[in-house]
Structure 1
Amino acid sequence: MKPEQLPLVNTLSAPAIHPDGSRAVVSVTRPDFNADDYVGQLWSVPLDPTKYPRRITRGFRDTAPAFSPDGLVLAFLRPDADGKPQLFVVESAGGEPQRVTNQRCGVSGFSWAPDSHRIVFTARVPEPGRYGTVDGVTPGREDARLIAVNKYRMNGVGYVSDQRLQVFVLDLPELGGEPVVKPRGRAAHEMPAAEFADVPAARQLTFDDADHDGATFSSDGRHIYFLAAAHEGNDNDLVTSMYKVAAAGGDASVVHAGHSGPQNVTAVRESANGRSLFFTAQDLGESGTDFVARNSVLFAVSLGQPGEDPAEPVALTDAEHLDVSGPLEQNGPDSVLVLNTVAGTVELLTVSSAGDITPLVFGPKVVTGATVAANGEIAVSFQDGSTAGDVASLEGGELRLLTDFSAALRNYSRIVEPVAFEVESGDGHPVHGWVVLPDGPGPHPALLTIHGGPFAQYTGAFFDEAQVYAAAGYAVVMCNPRGSSGYGQAHGRAIKGQMGTLDMLDVLAFFDAAVAAHPVIDAARTGIMGGSYGGYLSAWIIAHDHRFEAAVVERGFLDPVSFAGSSDIGWFFGGEYTGGTPEQLLAQSPMAVASAVKTPTLVIHSENDLRCPLEQGQRYYATLKASGVDTAFLVFPGEDHELSRSGTPHHRRQRFEHILAWWAVHLPTPLNPAISA
């Protein structure tokens, strides 16, 4: 794959299956260089393999499809003229979509009521005078912000305390009714503009100074559950709790589920029969901030009879070995579907309130979503080594492929499937990863790539970065060292308080073994690269090991000291991972040892990165420059921490081109040759 082929990479949403099990609808989006944005529409995918998928909407970017429980209406998100996602509905049999929201900051997410006549959604509500709510008041002319809290910014959003995420309920209009006509002429003069509404009015249910998310209806439609950190002292911990509010409005109340300690609740859903409340949560330790490598656990609470207090929650999954996530899709009367992160894959499981766990999809795949029809049919969206995203149905425990959205990419570029590999680290600990080998006999220079997180994982699924580098003639080596997710909490928490020790040992041991096991790799010509935590570990390694010809350090966590005062998560992240004393911070700081770096290093950062702020890259680059290291600083305007994954298409292509140009200078290949002066 070449950088200019990014528009051939399609990304799929979770599928929305029709209640009758006849078809699923999925959004298919892709980067587009002409629009310099992401474009895409909804596709209908018949579960009958003799029929073909087809595009059913024509919007600029239609996403998040969901059928009403009665199957008559399809809801989805479509951006307005300002690019903000708004809620649209259309008859599932076909017709013209109708817009039903006009939220200033757009709709963040939504869910259907069991009666199919209401939708609950979340949207940010800006303070008056901010975010374009007053004509002529641009961002640079807004009032000053007086900040006295820890949680005031979020990467990709910006300031959050003046645009809280709130819960709304919407009664759907009659889709077959006559459309609203905007008054003109005399009628427009007689009707004040404020009285005209071209969308139905939504009822705001929450008003607290907190973000409210993950809203879903109860099985009887009378209440709405949501998640929020609205407790006293919420600015000093990471605790998120479940709340319940009447769908007709009123005061919200916390759902006390007998928590044994501080937890971060991440999803909530009532069972279809209304007898159980499922939720996923992570333990946060006694401090309420110890988030490091905490696996998410699925719990169930027996709701008993109306008016009774919920029973004690029962953990349905093992915190040490399973890491489950939602959204929690109902599967039958008293079970839910969950995703489980494990050993470089993401499985699909069904779990009952009694604790029965049944794997549905497993093996070398990454499941990205699944939904169940009333007749038990299950539609699954997934990735693997040969596809960036496709839809399948689940029959008799086997996936039946229904789409081929990576066909165009394969027609223009060979997709190289990763080869799984496992080695022993220097202390005997197993390290799992992959090698992606380019075509040809070699010898090929090798790139050691390191993922972010650190509590994240590489998988064996399609990865655009590895494909681009392999197509340029590089062998790509990537692994999940200690600190990564998917291998148990002990594996993930092993680097707590000692970053740059066991993780460095693991990645170098894996790299050495992978190079030795593949004669087509040139052991004398190697590079290292990584982003975020991967940028941290790359910067740390090149200060201690000088074997690599060059390095790329991207959006790195490079100075734990200044990170604490500049990052959106700085007030807790570094202290929990490295420890909070000055001695601990310096002992694990790449900035503190930057003067030892000799490796030519390209530093990449984005101007709007609030997770690893620009100053991290600026100061690291300045230190290398002052030390006489061959270095360059690549800065992307308008981008945040997610540049490599969801930045504008032009910048994503440009990023690849700059990285390949850097490797062409320091590790040229026949497919990526150095350009002579």
Structure 2
Amino acid sequence: MKADDIVRLVSVSSPTLSPDGGTAVVATAHPDLDADTYVGQLWSVDVKGSTSPRRITRGFRDAAPQFSPDGSAIAFLRAEPGKPAQLYVMATTGGEPIRVTDRKLGVSEFAWSPDGSTFAFVSREPEHGRYGTVEGVEPGAEPPRRITTYRYSANGVGWMRDRRTQVFIVPVPDLSAEPVVQPVASSEGPVESRAWVAEPRALTSDDAEHGAIAFTANGRHVAVVSDGHPGADDDLRSILTLVPVDDGEPRSVVGPEANLSMGESAGAVVVAEDGAVYFVAQDMGESGRDFVARNSGLYLVESVGERPRRLTDDETVDLTGSDVVLSPHGALVRNTERGRVTLLAVGRDGAVTTLVRDREVTGAASAGQTVAFTFQSDSTFGDLAVVDVARLGDEPTENDAVRVLTDFSSEVRASGIRTPIEFETTGRDGYPVHGWVVLPEGEGPHPVLLNIHGGPYAQYSVHLFDESQVYADAGYAVVYCNPRGSAGYGQEHGRAIKGRMGTVDLNDVLDFLDAAVAAHPELDGDRVGILGGSYGGYLTAWTIAHDHRFAAAIVERGYLDPQFFFGTSDIGSFFGEEYNGADPELVAAQSPQAHVGAVRTPTLVMHSENDLRCPLSQAERYFASLKRSGVETELVIFPGEDHELSRSGRPRHRVQRFGIILDWWARHLPSGRNSVTATE
């Protein structure tokens, strides 16, 4: 695929199922270069496969669909151009969606009450006088912010303490009611306009971030995850509270003494019929901030007042980013595992059954005996399937039990996709290193790009990866692996670089590169480039200070200067100290900025203007130091973008980014299809 083929990459939301399990609804989204944003709608899919999937909404960007408990309606989030997402609801029989909210800063998450009469939702509540709450007061005219905490902003959000996420409830509108018609003035004078939407009622108002909401079975409480506890600025602990919908006092389910971090992702908490609460969390240790390579697990609180009980193994099962879906087969969760994201069913006794193995599962739903899931693989960016649990066997493939219902990636496959070759080698110290090689067309030998992922506790996986596909189309063999420090291979694997970044992880990526070159004669080991973003930018910068074989390098949104990360990054108050330690000499021993004088490799430094995770100053200091040392270098800054540029930045910027990258390689590591001559 070429850079502008990203418009063919259709992502698919988690599914929702009708109560009878017969119909699934998903939301799709794809980059649109003309609109320079992401657009998508809802699709209805017959689970039996007797009819083709059909588009059922025509909004600009419709997302996060949820069937009502009785199946008569579908609620979803709709964003109009340049505006935040609002909550809408429509009848499953069709008709125009009805708007439910009119929040200044939009809605990020919602849940149906069990009787279908009420929505709970999460929305940012701006301080009066800020964020357009007073007409005519522009951002530059707002009063100054008084800051007394470490954490006051977040990448992709910006300032947050003056617009906290809060939980609200609002009645579900009558879908058969007559629409609101605005009255006009008469000879007796003007009249007040009628409200288009009902006024929501706040359930929370404390100085905290709230999320991961779920109604209890009787609808009287909403389970809410938040960081609203003393000391929240110094630790990563979460609390889980049952907040009454009407009268009564909140009830604590999980307090800060449990040392658990639950995040704020939608669907990560669910309440069973008998009141038992399931949730996904990480154990932060006694300090409340020991987050490095801590696997997220499934926890259960049988009844309020009991201590949480972990149901999954803390070393081998990692549910980071997973939601929880209750089913007759157990609680469905997604496990990060060896370049895959598998679908597990977990019983209350901790018994685990793997339902889907050899894919990257992105969401799941259950109704009746139907289990539907969305997934990615090496041939799709997103599709919907169902798994027949009764047909699962002991074999390491579930092909006989899985039925794929959609084909949203047919166009991108037609553009030309190279299938990654899975590969494993043994490193210099006997440790296994696992990853992939993507070969371009032709016999070779091809120049090689060593690509390094971010995180570091993340993984390269089997999904269709636009980076490797674009580079392969340009004539490059792409090599990428999951070195020590990565997720998916157990906590010990991930914690191997705690206090010693740039040691065994450096060895692993270089050993994997050497083994890939040796195993594949199509690779030209004398013509190699290296690139990576975030932690991948760190390890790229670290590598070129210690190994000078590379023709050129690209350091993108890098974690480059641990010393100056503190006080500038949105995670700076804890990330560097937990990964690199607090001793200045130890920190310097792991710092690319401290070793920049050893770099001789031509290096392109790319960064985003609004990156609050790895602030722009990280790139600026590194670039200036390279330039002072006489290293050939360039600094590219993308305006208006944050840390997520390569994944969810403006589509035009994403295409331009690929163009800049390929231009750099054309000048420093040309291929038969990408050279200064070929691109002129």
When the two structures are superposed, what TM-score results if normalisation uses the length of structure 2? 0.96
What SS does the aligned partner of 2:353 have?
Answer: strand
What SS does the aligned partner of 1:133 have?
Answer: coil
2:553 to 547, 551, 554: 551
Contact kept? 1:220, 1:274, Cα under 8 Å: no
| Matching residue's letter, 2:36 | D
Contact kept? 1:225, 1:268, Cα under 8 Å: no
| Matching residue's letter, 2:520 | H
Contact kept? 2:278, 2:298, Cα under 8 Å: yes
Q: How far 1:249 sits from its partner (Å)?
A: 5.1
Alignment of structure 1 residues 285-304 onto 2, 5 Å: 285-303=285-303
Label 1:136 to 1:386 Cα distance change in 2 as closer, same or farther (>3 A). same
Alignment of structure 1 residues 188-587 onto 2, 5 Å: 190-192=190-192, 196-248=194-246, 250-256=248-254, 261-266=258-263, 269-303=269-303, 309-325=304-320, 326-332=322-328, 335-363=330-358, 365-373=359-367, 375-395=368-388, 396-397=391-392, 398-411=401-414, 413-587=415-589
Q: Deviations over 1:113-144 (max 9, x none)?
A: 11111111100000001111111111111111
| Matching residue's letter, 2:326 | Q
| Matching residue's letter, 2:539 | L
Q: How far 1:379 sits from its partner (Å)?
A: 1.2
Alignment of structure 1 residues 107-126 onto 2, 5 Å: 107-126=107-126
**Matches of 2:331 and 2:189 in 1, distance apart?**
54
Unaligned stretches of 5+ in structure 1?
Answer: 304-308
Unaligned stretches of 5+ in structure 2?
Answer: 393-400
Farther-moved stretch of structure 1 (580-589 vs 32-41): 580-589
| Matching residue's letter, 2:260 | Q
What SS does the aligned partner of 2:4 have?
Answer: helix
Check if 1:79 corresponds to 2:79. yes
What SS does the aligned partner of 1:145 have?
Answer: coil
| Matching residue's letter, 1:58 | R
Farther-moved stretch of structure 1 (199-208 vs 271-280): 271-280
Residue equivalent to 1:92: 92
Contact kept? 1:262, 1:286, Cα under 8 Å: yes
Contact kept? 1:367, 1:381, Cα under 8 Å: yes
| Matching residue's letter, 1:462 | L
Q: How far 1:270 sits from its partner (Å)?
A: 4.2
Q: How far 1:260 sits from its partner (Å)?
A: 6.9
Label 1:273 to 1:250 Cα distance change in 2 as closer, same or farther (>3 A). closer
Residue equivalent to 1:306: none
**Matches of 2:143 and 2:124 in 1, distance apart?**
19
Q: How far 1:88 sits from its partner (Å)?
A: 0.3
Farther-moved stretch of structure 1 (402-411 vs 597-606): 402-411
**Matches of 1:188 and 1:422 in 2, distance apart?**
82
Residue equivalent to 2:621: 619
Q: How far 1:565 sits from its partner (Å)?
A: 1.7
Q: Deviations over 1:6-35 (max 9, x none)?
A: 111101100111111121111111000110
Q: Deviations over 1:619-647 (max 9, x none)?
A: 11111111111111110000000000000
**Matches of 2:188 and 2:363 in 1, distance apart?**
47
Q: Deviations over 1:528-572 (max 9, x none)?
A: 000000000000000010000000000000000111121010011
How many pairs were matched up?
A: 665
**Matches of 1:187 and 1:432 in 2, distance apart?**
79
Contact kept? 2:166, 2:209, Cα under 8 Å: yes
Contact kept? 1:101, 1:199, Cα under 8 Å: yes
**Matches of 1:407 and 1:524 in 2, distance apart?**
36
Residue equivalent to 1:156: 156
**Matches of 1:542 and 1:465 in 2, distance apart?**
21
Residue equivalent to 1:647: 649
| Matching residue's letter, 1:567 | S
**Matches of 1:301 and 1:225 in 2, distance apart?**
12
Label 1:348 to 1:5 Cα distance change in 2 as closer, same or farther (>3 A). same
**Matches of 1:248 and 1:96 in 2, distance apart?**
31
What SS does the aligned partner of 2:621 have?
Answer: helix
Q: How far 1:226 sits from its partner (Å)?
A: 0.8
Contact kept? 2:215, 2:271, Cα under 8 Å: no
Contact kept? 2:295, 2:319, Cα under 8 Å: yes
**Matches of 1:312 and 1:288 in 2, distance apart?**
17
Contact kept? 2:184, 2:190, Cα under 8 Å: no
